[in-house]
């Protein structure tokens, strides 16, 4: 979500005739797009903001802007204003459409500006903003903003606001424009895509939206992220199985295996319900790959609770997982829970979890040796002369030697070797 926000902010900069540079010392404008979902990400931002002071001292005319969900967190914008006097412009998540206007004001009046809209004051969706896409073959399309789930550890509903869905016509229009520009692979974005449709004038849900997008000429692959197990209906499973462009990859965060922990997290499902859903998905969608998010060290998590997490990992055999140690986010209910798990125990659990999941990811990728897969070629491979980087429908990266002319095309590759994070193969004529 933050990366796509960056594309929208970059689109506005481009419209103002700014050109991208990665050399901070030479930039007229430095834009920091922040994420505060995890404390570690937030710490990095504070330290980065500190280092930018030197650039401002060397080049006082450089305008430094901070955007994203950190300034939206209670008290953070004030902190930036008072502690980081070299920051010129601060905006939140609800007013990115105003970025270029505010930046012009800072440029012309040589002032500092801070503008944050509260969730319940200004939540209108703004269509048609310019976007400078980071990729040529695949594109992100936001279908909904915010989240109503209020998982007890999560700050997203406080910094991204309540759920708001875009009108389906607007989404279809954007995807048709992307198809006309040659994009082939789109990823639908939202904090909880499968609750798409709440509050719209027409009755339309996520399955209906997938069916509409599946009809668009030129688009070859449709993906989506993230799904919530609670809202994953039978209708959705059936739709994914029947829409030929919807890829066989589901990212379905489970977070914890223990029912006690799931309840404290306010996740709205049990371990058995999650496993049943996975079974249903595996049976209905042939060759599906499943990835997940897992958190260890939630307050009061016991060794027995953690064993349930390992059990889910063993039983599902995820293709990959984002694995995190629980971080306290001030302002969330979990931050006030007693018996926070000591850091050394969290570290031990995350290491055990990562080593189990890595072993499974490696085995699953090795199982693909000798198989032929359809890939969409995305780019040249970084630091591998003559190699291309491509992606399977199941979201696995495949590297192979080939001509640059294949970029943007679908090809067939025979897998020769599976690694933990990617595959290598040979393109078939």
Q: Residues 125-164 vs ligand SF4: string with x where CB under 6 A?
A: ----------------------x-xxx--x-xx-------
Give φ, ψ of 290 to 5 degrees: -125, 130
> Which one, 36 or 360, has the nearer CB to ligand SF4?
36
Total binding residues toward ligand SF4, as defined by CB under 6 A:
10
Minimum Å distance from CB 94 to ligand SF4?
16
Sort strands 221-225 and 185-189 into parallel, antiparallel or unpaired: parallel
CA dihedral 70, 73, 75, 77 (to 10 degrees): 40
Does the footprint of ligand SF4 cover residue 228 (CB under 6 A)?
yes
Q: Closest approach of Cβ 152 to ligand SF4, in Å?
A: 9
Q: How far apart are CA 128 and CA 280, in angstroms?
A: 38
* Interaction pattern, residues 28-47, with ligand SF4; x per rule: CB under 6 A: --------------------
CA angle 410, 412, 414 (to 5 degrees): 150
Q: Shortest Cβ distance from residue 373 to ligand SF4 (Å)?
A: 31
- Closest approach, Cβ 190 to ligand SF4, in A, equals 9
- By the rule CB under 6 A, 262 interacts with ligand SF4: no
**In 3D, which of 189, 207, 182 has the Cα closest to residue 408?**
182
* Letter string b/e over residues 124-148, b meaning 16 or more CB atoms within 10 A of that residue's CB: eeeeeeebebeeebbbbbbbbbbbe
Q: How far is the CB of 315 from ligand SF4 (least distance, A)?
A: 22
**Least distance to ligand SF4, CB of residue 323, Å:** 15
Minimal distance in Å, beta carbon 282 to ligand SF4? 23
Identity of the residue, 228 or 349, whose beta carbon is nearer to ligand SF4 in the bound complex: 228
Please, which residue, 228 or 271, has the CB nearer to ligand SF4?
228
DSSP track, 139-206? EEEE-EE--S---TT--HHHHH-S-EEPPHHHHHHHHHHHHHTT--EEEEE-TTGGGTTTT-SS---H
Cα(426)–Cα(429) distance, integer angstroms: 10
- Count of all residues that appear for the chain in the document: 429
Residue 115 pairs with which residues in a beta bridge?
91
In sign, the C-alpha dihedral spanning 198, 199, 200, 202 is positive
Number of Cβ within a 10 Å radius of residue 253 = 20
- Tell me which H or E stretch contains 68: strand 63-68
Of the residues 12, 187, 192, 289, which one makes contact with ligand SF4 according to CB under 6 A: 192
Angle at 396 between CA 193 and CA 291, to 5 degrees: 45
Q: Quick one: 151 or 312, whose CB is closer to ligand SF4?
A: 151
Q: Is 309 in the site for ligand SF4 (CB under 6 A)?
A: no
14 contacts: CB under 8 Å, gap ≥ 6 = 130, 132
Cα-flanking dihedrals φ and ψ of residue 345, to 5°? -70, -40
In the bound state with ligand SF4, the residue whose beta carbon lies nearer, of 290 and 377, is 290
CB of 380 to ligand SF4, least distance (A): 34
In whole angstroms, the minimum distance from the beta carbon of 110 to ligand SF4 comes to 39
Determine the 3-state secondary structure of 104 from DSSP: helix
Q: Cβ distance 189 to 223 under 8 Å?
A: no
Judged by CB, which is closer to ligand SF4: 149, or 392? 149
Closer of 228 and 249 to ligand SF4 (Cβ)? 228
Find the shortest distance in angstroms from Cβ 272 to ligand SF4: 20
Residue 299 binds to ligand SF4 (criterion: CB under 6 A): no
The answer to whether 191 contacts ligand SF4 (rule: CB under 6 A) is yes
CA-only gyration radius of the chain, Å: 22
Q: Which residues bind ligand SF4 (CB under 6 A)?
A: 147, 149-151, 154, 156-157, 191-192, 228
């Amino acid at each position: 979500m933050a990366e796509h926000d960056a594309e929208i902010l970059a689109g506005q900069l481009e419209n103002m005739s700014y050109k991208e540079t990665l050399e901070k010392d030479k930039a007229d404008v430095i834009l920091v797009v922040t994420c505060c979902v995890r404390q570690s990400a937030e710490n990095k931002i504070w330290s980065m903001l500190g280092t930018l002071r030197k650039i401002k001292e060397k080049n006082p005319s450089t305008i430094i802007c901070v955007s994203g969900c950190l300034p939206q967190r209670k008290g953070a914008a004030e902190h930036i204003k008072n502690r980081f006097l070299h920051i010129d412009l601060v905006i939140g998540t609800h007013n990115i459409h105003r970025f270029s206007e505010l930046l012009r004001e800072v440029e012309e009046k040589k002032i500092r500006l801070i503008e944050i809209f509260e969730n319940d004051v200004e939540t209108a969706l703004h269509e048609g903003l310019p976007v400078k896409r980071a990729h040529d073959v695949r594109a992100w399309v936001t279908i909904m903003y915010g989240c109503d789930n209020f998982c007890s550890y999560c700050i997203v509903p406080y910094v991204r606001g309540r759920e708001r869905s875009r009108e389906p016509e607007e989404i279809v229009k954007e995807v048709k424009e992307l198809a006309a520009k040659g994009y082939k692979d789109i990823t639908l974005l939202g904090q909880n895509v499968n609750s798409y449709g709440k509050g719209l004038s027409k009755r339309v849900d996520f399955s209906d939206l997938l069916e509409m997008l599946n009809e668009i000429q030129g688009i070859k692959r449709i993906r989506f992220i993230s799904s919530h197990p609670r809202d994953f209906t039978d209708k959705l499973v059936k739709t994914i199985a029947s829409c030929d462009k919807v890829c066989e990859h589901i990212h379905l965060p489970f977070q914890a295996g223990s029912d006690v922990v799931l309840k404290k997290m306010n996740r709205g499902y049990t371990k058995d319900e999650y496993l049943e859903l996975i079974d249903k998905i595996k049976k209905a969608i042939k060759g599906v790959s499943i990835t997940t998010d897992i958190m260890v060290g939630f307050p009061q998590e016991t060794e027995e609770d953690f064993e349930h997490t390992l059990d889910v990992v063993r039983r599902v055999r995820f293709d990959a997982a984002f694995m995190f140690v629980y971080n306290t986010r001030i302002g969330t209910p979990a931050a006030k829970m007693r018996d926070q798990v000591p850091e050394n125990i969290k570290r031990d659990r995350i290491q055990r979890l990562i080593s189990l999941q890595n072993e499974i990811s490696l085995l699953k990728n090795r199982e693909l040796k000798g198989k032929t897969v359809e890939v969409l070629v995305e780019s040249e491979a970084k630091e591998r002369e003559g190699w291309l980087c491509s992606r399977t429908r199941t979201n696995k990266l495949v590297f192979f030697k080939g001509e640059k002319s294949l970029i943007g095309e679908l090809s067939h590759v025979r897998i020769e070797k599976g690694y933990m994070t990617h595959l290598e193969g040979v393109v078939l004529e």
